[in-house]
Amino acid sequence: MRRRDVLRTAGGAAMAGVASGVPSLLGCSERPPAATGGAAPAAKDKRQLVLDLLDESKPPRYTPAAFFIHFGEEYQVGPPAIAKHTEYFRSTGMDFVKIQYEAGFPLHPEIEKPEDWARMPLHGKEHYEAQVGVVEGLVKALKKEALVVCTLYSPFMLARDSVGAERTIKHIEEDPEAVKKGLEIVTESLLTFVRECVRVGVDGFYASTQGGEAGRFSRPGSFRECVMPFDLRVQREINESCLFNILHICDYDLPYDDLSPFLEYPGDVVTSSLHVGEETLTPKELSEFFGRPFMGGLDRKGIIVNGTAEQIRQEVHDVLVDSSDRHILGADCTLPGDIAWENIRTAITAAHDFRG
Ligand SMILES: [Zn+2]
């Protein structure tokens, strides 16, 4: 299914309205659902409400919201992971299911020199089996009522975690051609994971990128040479195969001073920090810049973590008045794991109430 053709025009600057009959609200490999009686979507049909954001022929009537946390080691695989994600989704009232990727990538300390990257092993389906099992379980449990999206770290992020941050940067700057051979292999491994998730019915991915931050590389051009091409291979594939993808420009490690390279990245929704260089932009400005709905607005370490309910509601209100009509309330990155879920629920409810 090439839903790009029906949900958006090419070029990133405009979202094409579909004059009639959005062809499918289902994910990549879903069969038609059981009959629902043909009634108009109920207010709680979160799949439809989120997808409506991408369709300019539909007037915005709802502000979705979602926040993410890691659940701790005991909830990373198997039934405990599925149960915890489900509990969190229900408790917070968020509008789509976002699955944390906890499978990591094997460590390869034997990669000591740039030329060693050519020997990066290719990891197959078996490496991803447990993580795909969590995706499959959550698709079965929750896809009928909400989009199910899985976190995807970029080839650069996985390679860096596998080989070591300092060493990876050093090798890229010394001999980019040699490192690219390894990044090719990491990308192939990652695409195996992507295809397995698509096979079990995921709706899309929350695709994180790092490497384009200010000061990440000292040699100009390293990001465009050794990070971006691999990002784009993955992002173009998910864009072709899935219904709903979020591009996350992650500032967890470092801030950005230029977001323009990411205009070339696909992704139905973009999420990033509001801070770019010396400036703090509004969500509306970022949505206009990217030509797509923006997700975010709240500081992951701010009011949502330590504010009162009233302060949280006020903060959400202040964010949403500066947002475009097609906005998803969220934070700039993952929230602290020990945050009170009640705070998250308060923020999400405030977003839902914003349009009355
Ligand atoms: Zn992030």
Cα 42 to ligand 1 centre (Å): 32
- Residue 334 and residue 70 in contact, taking contact as beta carbons nearer than 8 Å: yes
Q: Which two tokens stand for residue 116?
A: 């060693």
Angle of helix 165-174 relative to helix 155-163, nearest 10 degrees, comes to: 110
Residues less than 5 Å from ion ligand 1, measured at CB: 250, 252, 333
Alpha carbons 216 and 231: distance in angstroms, whole number: 16
How close is the Cα of 154 to the center of ligand 1, in Å? Answer: 12
**21 in any annotated domain:** no
Q: Which of 328, 351, 347, 350 is nearest to 339 (CA)?
A: 347
Q: What separation in Å is there between the alpha carbon of 248 and the centre of ligand 1?
A: 7
Domain annotation covers residue 36: no
pLDDT the model gives residue 284: 97
Retrieve residue 202's tokens: 């995921």
Proportion of the chain in helix, strand, coil states, percent, rounded to 5: 45, 10, 45
Tokens linked to 180: 């690219």
Distance 163 CA to ligand 1 centre (A): 20
Q: How many CB atoms are closer than 10 A to CB 159?
A: 31
Q: Which residues are paired to 295 by β-bridges?
A: 271, 328
Position 44 scores a pLDDT of 57
Cα(10) to ligand 1 centroid in Å equals: 26
Tens digit of pLDDT at every position of the chain (356 positions) = 333 333 333 333 333 332 333 333 444 444 333 333 333 444 458 999 999 999 989 888 899 999 999 999 999 999 999 999 999 999 999 999 999 999 889 999 999 999 999 999 999 999 999 999 999 999 999 999 999 999 999 999 999 999 999 999 999 999 999 999 999 999 999 999 999 999 999 999 999 999 999 999 999 899 999 999 999 999 999 999 999 999 999 999 999 999 999 999 999 999 999 999 999 999 999 999 999 999 999 999 999 999 999 999 999 999 999 999 999 999 999 999 999 999 999 999 999 999 87
Ligand 1 mean position to 153 CA, how many Å? 10
Compute, in angstroms, the gap from residue 40 CA to the centroid of ligand 1.
Answer: 36
- DSSP string for 227-274: IHHHHHHHHHHHHHH-S--EEEE--SS--BS--GGGGGS--SEEEE-S
- 48 φ, ψ (degrees, to nearest 5): -65, -45
Rounded to the nearest whole angstrom, what is the distance from the C-alpha of residue 243 to the centroid of ligand 1? 22
Q: How many residues does the chain have?
A: 356
Residue with tokens 């096979």: 199
If one counts the domains in the chain, the total is 1
Specify whether the CB–CB gap between 47 and 22 falls below 8 A: no
Helix (H, G, I), strand (E, B) or coil at 1: coil
Residue type, 267: G
Q: How far is the centre of ligand 1, averaged over its atoms, from the C-alpha of 271 (Å)? A: 9
* Distance of alpha carbon 290 from the chain centroid: 15
| Cα-to-centroid distance, 22 and ligand 1 (Å) | 31
Q: Which residues are paired to 172 by β-bridges?
A: none
Tokens of 258: 């230029």
Q: Are 219 and 169 in contact (CB under 8 A)?
A: no
Rounded Cα–Cα distance for residues 60 and 56 (Å) = 8
- Residue 205 pairs in a beta bridge with 150
Q: How far is the CA of 119 from the centre of ligand 1 (A)?
A: 29
Q: Which domain holds residue 312?
A: 4-12+43-354
> Is residue 187 domain-resident?
yes
Give domain status of residue 116, yes or no: yes
In a domain, 103, yes or no: yes
CATH code for the domain in which residue 263 is found: 3.20.20.210
- Rounded Cα gap, residues 241 and 169, in angstroms: 31
Gap between the Cα atoms of 49 and 344, Å rounded = 20
Is residue 309 within a helix (H) or strand (E), and if so which, with residue range? helix 309-321
In a domain? residue 19: no
Q: Could you give the CA distance from residue 63 to residue 350 in angstroms, rounded to a whole number?
A: 9
This prediction has a pTM of 0.88
CA of 209 to the centre of ligand 1 (A): 8
Give me the residues paired with residue 147 across strands: 96
Read out DSSP for 177-189?
HHHHHHHHHHHHH
The reply to whether 23 falls in a domain is no
Q: Which residues are within 8 A (CB) of 183 and not within 5 positions of it... i.e. 6 or more apart?
A: 117, 155, 156, 159, 226, 230
Distance 256 CA to ligand 1 centre (A): 12
Could you tell me if residue 233 is inside a domain? yes
Please tell me the distance between residue 250's alpha carbon and the centre of ligand 1 in angstroms: 4
Please give the pLDDT value at position 330.
Answer: 98
